[in-house]
């Protein structure tokens, strides 16, 4: 089974990822997450702007999926993965979100950078943007608990 198949299967198996409509694309070991715009992501109808909570959840999910993807890649180097293989989804310990620009009613992208992955804890920085990669709308940094 290819890594992308595995990731797609994992993503569609999680109801909250489906609820937000998030999709993933993997190139090598780098994951780009996409949250296509839909009206029920709106938090402020006056601007209008995407809900800070939706952007926050998107950043968090991007981080979790990057870690799960890395786990799967590592497992694949150690041997053939069974068809029902599913990487453990880490748990967030703490996350800080910085909101840099209001999220416009359009598609949002995110990428996670693993600063350090230890035995128990991984530290991540995650960035979200819309039309321009250099114009970030929000960033997050946080610690995630690995394993069960």
Cis check: omega of the bond before 48, within 30 degrees of 0? yes
Cα 86 from Cα 33, distance rounded (Å) = 19
Instruction: Figure out which of the listed residues 54, 65, 126, 128 binds other proteins, where binding follows CB under 8 A.
Output: 54
Question: Would you count residue 53 as binding other proteins (CB under 8 A)?
Answer: yes
Question: Would you count residue 49 as binding other proteins (CB under 8 A)?
Answer: yes
Phi-psi region of 120 (alpha: psi -120 to 50; beta: other; left: phi over 0): alpha
Instruction: Figure out which of the listed residues 33, 41, 72, 137 binds other proteins, where binding follows CB under 8 A.
Output: 41
Instruction: Figure out which of the listed residues 42, 73, 75, 121 binds other proteins, where binding follows CB under 8 A.
Output: 42
Q: How far is the CB of 39 from other proteins (least distance, A)?
A: 6
> Could you tell me which of 33, 44, 19 has the C-alpha nearest to residue 102?
44
- At residue 112's C-alpha, the angle toward residues 76 and 43, to 5°, is 130
Give me the residues that bind other proteins (CB under 8 A), please. 13-20, 39-46, 49-54, 56-58, 60-61, 89, 91-99, 102
């Amino acid at each position: 089974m290819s890594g992308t198949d595995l990731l797609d299967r994992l993503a569609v198996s999680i109801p909250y990822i489906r609820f937000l409509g998030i999709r993933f694309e993997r190139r090598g070991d780098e994951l780009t997450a996409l949250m296509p715009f839909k009206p029920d992501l709106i938090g402020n109808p006056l601007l209008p702007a995407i809900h800070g909570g939706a952007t926050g959840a998107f950043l968090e999910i991007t981080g979790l999926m990057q870690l799960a993807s890395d786990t799967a890649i590592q497992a694949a180097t150690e041997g053939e993965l069974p068809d029902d293989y599913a990487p453990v989804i880490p748990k967030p310990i703490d996350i800080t979100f910085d909101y840099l620009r209001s999220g416009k009613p359009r598609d949002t992208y995110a990428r996670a950078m693993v600063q350090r992955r230890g035995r128990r804890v991984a530290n991540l920085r995650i960035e979200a943007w819309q039309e321009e990669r250099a114009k970030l709308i929000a960033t997050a940094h946080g610690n995630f608990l690995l394993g069960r």
